[in-house]
Structure 1
Amino acid sequence: MSKVLITGGAGFIGSNLAHALVDNNEVVIVDDLSMGKKENISDIDVTFYQHDVCDSSFMHRLLSEGHFDYIFYLAAVSSVADSVVRPLETHLVNQESVLDTLEYIRQNNLPIKKFLFTSSAAVYGNYPDFPKREDARVQPLTPYAIDKYASERFTIDYNKLYGIPTVAVRFFNVYGPRQNPNSPYSGVLSIVSKCLKNDDTFVLYGDGSQTRDFVYVEDVVNALIKISHLKIASTVFNIANGKETSLMSIINTYETVSGKQLKVKKEDSRNGDIQRSIADISKLKKIGFEPRWSLVDGLQKYWSYYLSL
């Protein structure tokens, strides 16, 4: 049985990962609950610390005493808009804490099997190169994207320079159970779900033509676990579905799935918002991974989950 640390493990993706790992691993979670929720992990047997990953003395002690085999670094202020408003505060979480953890592992020769850092498709920016390959040009346009890109480079180069087994992934638009719809910075589909269920008005920033590559969280978790067990290191993978969908199109599909009409109020686009996004996932497929969830199937399962809350 392996010992696994998940930072941000009470959040949306982290809690789904914890559920997938807990039966065959000893799972430790660190989360300050600023975006995550304790109830996301209350039904599984994990060791939970409500703590800030920026507290280096706490993290150093945990890393020394934990003897972890795998570290999944998901802790982040996962909001582009929030990083524009609070660039320094979000930088401390999204970059400084990552580097501090890597450096402590290096200085103390901690014998981990894999350190996996979760980056974002936001690093690609608005360059007109589609679909986005991992070796494509990057154009981080916001503090969030800048920190994510810098942290993934630190992660990758800590393998090249110091031999620490590291890998990074770039999430595209992940959706599914345990997303927090009450956060103004949550994923768009969780907010749409809440508005559909409660007959609230959804605020659409832009004209709805902006596209995203939506991937169901179960596919994301399966990809994370597969990548973490690969012997390959010092590289980055896109995690996505490989399909491009406009926001208006997915809203229309979700209306069909839910049988409800969404009330929409249009506002101007926000600073830093990306107009178009689609991933090339051929690198992920080469390691034997195939997304299993279509958009319709994922939305149906997500809607059923959301109705049960």
Structure 2
Amino acid sequence: MDTPAIRDRTILVTGGAGFIGSHLVDALTPQNEVRVLDDFTTGDRTHLSDDATVIEGDIRDPIALQRAARGVDLIFHHAALVSVAQSVDEPRQSNRTNLEASLLVLEQARQEDARVVVASSAAVYGHPDELPVSETAGIEPTSPYGVQKGALDRYTRLYEELYGLPTVALRYFNVYGPRQRGPYSGVISTFIEQARADKPITIEGDGQQSRDFVHVRDVVRANLRAATTDAVGEAYNIGTGTRTAIADLAETIRDATGSTSPVVHREPRVGDIRHSGADVSKASRELGFDARIGLESGIRSLVGASEPAGQDAGTVREPHSEPESHS
């Protein structure tokens, strides 16, 4: 199916200067009035279209949020503290950003009668009992980040049930693509940076752990579908439905970059999720969403881009079941 057009709307993207948010802003600005609320802690101004209205502010600040959301028709909520490790070290700070501030967004949306699409995460599932994991699986997060995303996910759907506010939660699996960089960059951007520098491609564990990697352009398409669907008050897995072993990913990236980097292994991380993969049948059936970009072609387009894939070529601190940089 073609991606539905969104036109002549006033739209707020929280975290709009971040990885996924900035791609969403790019898709929306040609035909809409788009506002971005971002504190630029991790977001990058250079990623933003000149056609977007930028409000620099903290998502936890009700005044900044009110100013950004006044009169909007639609909110895409991507602002978050996305480091799982930081959520473990500082759970209260993480909770203030990921849950308490998100409740402010939902309340502001209720005042504006604005539809809300929220970035949730596969982190809500924890260690899945069955693969692929469907939306009916148990919610058993293994980190404060996952707990916060799980609570936000449920609050988002509850606002539709209690108040009739049209809401959708999108549970992202491992998102990759251009502009994914910085200390919480995903495994693909980190591997590409290591390969380009002819440094060892470093895997924690045996490399047989697997993930569902979905390109950011497909994630944007999922957001646009969520913004127009009648199937509100629901959560949807957003992935490809295909799992890739991390060792195979490393080889694909070596081939795509023409690198001679050795692949080396370090001790596995305690508590790491062994396998993660999305059952995307609900998103396909109810949103009309199916991922279009295969992993190999996505990696080759990323390698061919002029922008470096990431900044840090150190030891990989991935993979989690969730994207570590999805704002």
Question: How far apart are 1:44 and its partner, in Å?
Answer: 3.8
| 1:19–1:44 CA contact under 8 A, matched in 2 | no
Written as runs of structure 1 = structure 2, the 5 A alignment for 1:13-92 is 13-41=20-48, 43-63=49-69, 66-92=70-96
CA gap of 1:269–1:52, structure 2 versus 1, over 3 A, is farther
- SS of the equivalent of 2:305 reads helix
The equivalent of 1:290 in structure 2 is 290
The equivalent of 1:303 in structure 2 is 303
The equivalent of 1:100 in structure 2 is 104
The alignment status of 1:197 with 2:196, answered yes or no, reads yes
CA gap of 1:263–1:79, structure 2 versus 1, over 3 A, is farther
The equivalent of 1:248 in structure 2 is 247
**d(CA) in 2 for partners of 1:308, 1:96:** 34
The equivalent of 2:157 in structure 1 is 156
One-letter amino acid matched to 2:292:
R
| 1:170–1:239 CA contact under 8 A, matched in 2 | yes
The alignment status of 1:123 with 2:124, answered yes or no, reads yes
**d(CA) in 2 for partners of 1:271, 1:7:** 33
Question: Which residue, 1, 14, 17 being the options, matches 1:7?
Answer: 14
One-letter amino acid matched to 1:302:
L
Question: How far apart are 1:308 and its partner, in Å?
Answer: 6.7
- SS of the equivalent of 2:241 reads coil
- SS of the equivalent of 2:88 reads helix
Question: How far apart are 1:100 and its partner, in Å?
Answer: 1.7
The alignment of Structure 1 onto Structure 2 pairs a total of residues equal to 301
Question: How far apart are 1:263 and its partner, in Å?
Answer: 4.0
% same residue: 38
Question: How far apart are 1:271 and its partner, in Å?
Answer: 4.5
Written as runs of structure 1 = structure 2, the 5 A alignment for 1:136-151 is 136-151=137-152
Deviations 1:79-128 (A, max 9, x none): 2122112211111111111112212333x3x221x201111011111132
- SS of the equivalent of 2:169 reads strand
- SS of the equivalent of 2:105 reads helix
Deviations 1:158-192 (A, max 9, x none): 11011111110000011111111x31x21111111
Deviations 1:23-46 (A, max 9, x none): 1111111111222211111x4410
Question: How far apart are 1:265 and its partner, in Å?
Answer: 4.4
One-letter amino acid matched to 1:143:
P
TM score, norm. by length of structure 1 = 0.92
Output the aligned Cα RMSD: 1.6
**d(CA) in 1 for partners of 2:270, 2:75:** 33
Written as runs of structure 1 = structure 2, the 5 A alignment for 1:250-269 is 250-269=249-268
| Structure 2 spans left out of the alignment, 5+ residues | 1-7, 310-327
Deviations 1:252-304 (A, max 9, x none): 11111111133444333334531110000111111322211111110111111
- SS of the equivalent of 1:223 reads helix
Higher RCO structure (Cα 8 Å, ≥6 apart): 2
| 2:55–2:68 CA contact under 8 A, matched in 1 | no
One-letter amino acid matched to 1:74:
H
- SS of the equivalent of 2:284 reads helix
**d(CA) in 2 for partners of 1:278, 1:57:** 39
CA gap of 1:61–1:300, structure 2 versus 1, over 3 A, is same
CA gap of 1:270–1:77, structure 2 versus 1, over 3 A, is farther
CA gap of 1:197–1:282, structure 2 versus 1, over 3 A, is same
| 1:81–1:272 CA contact under 8 A, matched in 2 | no
**d(CA) in 2 for partners of 1:122, 1:306:** 31
One-letter amino acid matched to 1:17:
L
TM score, norm. by length of structure 2 = 0.88
The equivalent of 1:179 in structure 2 is 180
One-letter amino acid matched to 1:122:
A
**d(CA) in 2 for partners of 1:292, 1:72:** 22
